[in-house]
Structure 1
């Protein structure tokens, strides 16, 4: 909670001090693949490969075409699987713990110069709102359920940062990492699952991390 308050306060200070020009806002679309994992949640634990897609706004906050706020509204697939390479053919290897969100990143974005084609960096908070969750295992369908393997949190708070390249300030390619600061499975420690009762990480916070590659098109 302290991290959430501090991060929100810092971002609010940057927002309020910026020279925001809403009249020059541009809009765009963005999508790409992503890789996600959750620390300390399930055993075995492996990555889930999914995607995100949505819309963005590019809002100038200076007079030199270098600094922007970029809020986004996304559909995001996250969670994890049991595909740990060291657990192949063991119980839980084929499990999928899928959590899907409406995600709202709000990034501060800086181009490295005023050139039309240029590298950029960005960072900011991301707010995730759970819209669906599934837990499955093709080898043990009768024993895999949300009740046994933890209800995902309805809200997650993350901090992310990334870099990218812009082609003429219109077509952009980016790479981003998001770290979850809230508990992705707050009630998992109370799970009756036999897998969790013998896991020493059961009492630790379940933190979700995401790596995304994105392609964005910004309308003129």
Structure 2
């Protein structure tokens, strides 16, 4: 952890010395509303995400924001009970460390902005039954959204995050498995962040 902090501050110093930019580390967190595509008898699951960021503002209009987040995802599902009789309600959990970056465009150089960018999501744990399922260890996602930043460093954002790797690591090449059967992570996020001014 200490090495990571040193690397972050060295990076901030390097960028500030080579360009007329504003570099601001920060913290963020918020609400996840997650679900699975093509998963029968399922409902969205609510949980949270939290982590850190570095907002690199190159000018009034453009910001690049690397992020490292802990994201709790999954879905509320209904399955057949033991012996195939009746249903049982389960909360499937897939938790990730998401390493990514978003590019932001600020309209008129002011607070309102749009954003988009990729992330690599590394699974930290899940609660899927070992004898039934084996979730994939990584996911690749694209995030898009809108937000508004205040002069005091607070930012409010709404994002949609779409996974592109089947949660069971299916590659779409098996004869009895079709692309419409691929199960993907879908996450709607509402959150707030705060960036610190670095002199």
Q: What range describes the TM-score normalised by the shorter chain of this pair?
A: 0.7 to 0.9
Question: Which of structure 1's runs of 4+ aligned residues deviate more than 6 A?
Answer: 200-203
Q: Partners of 2:107 and 2:152 in 1: how far apart? A: 12
Please state if 1:49 is matched with 2:33: no
Question: Is the 1:35–1:49 Cα contact (8 Å) retained in structure 2?
Answer: yes
Unmatched 5+ stretches in structure 1: 1-20, 85-89, 136-144, 190-199
TM-score, structure 1 normalization: 0.70
Q: Call closer, same or farther: CA 1:209–1:203 in 2, change over 3 Å.
A: closer
What corresponds to 1:30 in structure 2? 28
Please state if 1:161 is matched with 2:161: no
Unmatched 5+ stretches in structure 2: 1-13, 17-21, 80-85
Q: Partners of 1:37 and 1:202 in 2: how far apart? A: 18
Deviation, structure 1 residue 146: 3.1
What corresponds to 1:174 in structure 2? 157
Q: CA RMSD in A?
A: 2.3
Please state if 1:126 is matched with 2:119: yes
Superposition pairs for residues 13-162 of structure 1, below 5 Å? 22-23=15-16, 24-41=22-39, 43-61=40-58, 64-82=59-77, 91-92=87-88, 94-115=89-110, 118-135=111-128, 145-148=129-132, 150-162=133-145
TM-score, structure 2 normalization: 0.77
SS at match of 2:147: strand
Aligned residues: 168
Higher strand share: 2
